[in-house]
Amino acid sequence: MTNPADGPLPDCFYCRKDQRLADLMIEVAPLRVSTLYLFKEQTHPGRCVVAYHGHVNELFELPDSEVALFMQDVARAARAIQTAFHPGKINYGAYSDKLPHLHFHLVPKYVDGPAWGTTFTMMPEPKRLPSEAEYAKTIESIRTAL
């Protein structure tokens, strides 16, 4: 496990928190061992990502105590999304094939909504919220539920 504080940052936008990250997501809140982000693409209203603080790729690379804390963060974020948006189901995706950093996509699914009953599409046709104010309102709804 590489902690970004221990040396040079890997070329990872979760570690560097650079423009690549800002182009895709907005930080919602720090959690115990991770950070919660709102995905700017909102085909599934309330879609978020929980990214682990240290630079690891696989869940099994973490000590058991960190696995428990990370999964508690994921559950806390999912509970907040459920409270704020009332989806029919939340899908969880942890792929990182192309971005080797431990993160979970939390994708709220809605009955009769896009991809209900099937796997969500990672990058569908971009559906952005109409304004920064709408992103701020969405983020505040999640923060309030945390």
Please give the domain boundaries of the chain with CATH numbers for all domains. Answer: 4-145 (3.30.428.10)
pLDDT-derived band at 6 (thresholds 50, 70, 90) equals low
Note the pLDDT of residue 55. Answer: 95
Phi-psi region of 121 (alpha: psi -120 to 50; beta: other; left: phi over 0): beta
Note the pLDDT of residue 74. Answer: 98
Describe the crossing of helices 132-145 and 64-85 by its angle, rounded to 10 degrees. 120
Mean of the per-residue pLDDT values of the chain: 92
SS3 per residue for 7-47? CCCCCCHHHHCCHHHHHHEEEEEECCCEEEEEECCCCCCCC
Could you identify the residue written with the tokens 């701020």?
136
Note the pLDDT of residue 4. Answer: 45
pLDDT at 25 over 80: yes
First and final C-alpha spacing in the chain: 28
Longest CA span, the chain: 48
Q: Which two tokens stand for residue 59?
A: 């869940």
Q: What angle do CA 109, 44, 118 make, to 5 degrees?
A: 45
Question: pLDDT digits over 88-122, tens only?
Answer: 999 999 988 888 999 999 999 999 999 998 888 77
Contact yes or no for 106/90 (Cβ under 8 A): yes
pLDDT at 80 over 60: yes
